[in-house]
């Protein structure tokens, strides 16, 4: 029987930092979009010429682009937040399984749970069943 890999490959904290950074960038774009809208409205209100029409059309395109970028940032934020949440839940599951394995008397290192060394004792069958239960919780075998 192989060991159970319990190494935590991805930590949730850097993902939460990335999520905050993406929020910050999205807010900057939102502020820029608002400023462009304000400029477009002022120009459209105060000036009347072909150049004004061209400028307000150009600004409207920039406002639309900002809105699309904000939408993309929001999709990335949701994806990173979901991944961070899944990572956190997985980390907690791994830590719980390791604690339970230690309590059962298994040898547990920072990244492995080892199968029972004694395969002939009267407690060996129960321990092997418990080991297989840990393995079946979705943790990868190595």
pLDDT tens digits, one per residue of 85-126: 999 988 888 888 888 888 877 788 878 877 766 666 666 666
- State the angle between helix axes of 50-104 and 124-136 in degrees (0 to 180), rounded to the nearest 10: 180
Which residues contact residue 73 at a Cβ distance below 8 angstroms, ignoring those fewer than 6 apart? 22, 25, 26, 29
- pTM for this prediction: 0.72
């Amino acid at each position: 029987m192989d060991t159970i890999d319990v190494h935590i490959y991805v930590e949730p904290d850097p993902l939460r930092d990335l999520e905050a950074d993406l929020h910050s960038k999205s807010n900057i774009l939102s502020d820029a979009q608002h400023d462009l809208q304000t400029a477009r409205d002022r120009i459209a209100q105060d000036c009347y010429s072909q150049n004004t029409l061209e400028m307000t059309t150009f600004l409207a395109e920039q406002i639309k682009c900002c809105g699309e970028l904000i939408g993309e940032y929001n999709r990335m934020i949701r994806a990173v937040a979901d991944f961070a949440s899944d990572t956190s839940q997985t980390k907690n599951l791994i830590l719980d399984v390791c604690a339970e394995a230690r309590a059962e008397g298994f040898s547990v290192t920072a990244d492995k749970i080892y199968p029972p060394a004694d395969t002939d004792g009267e407690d060996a069958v129960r321990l092997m069943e418990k080991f297989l239960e840990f393995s079946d919780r979705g943790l990868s075998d190595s």
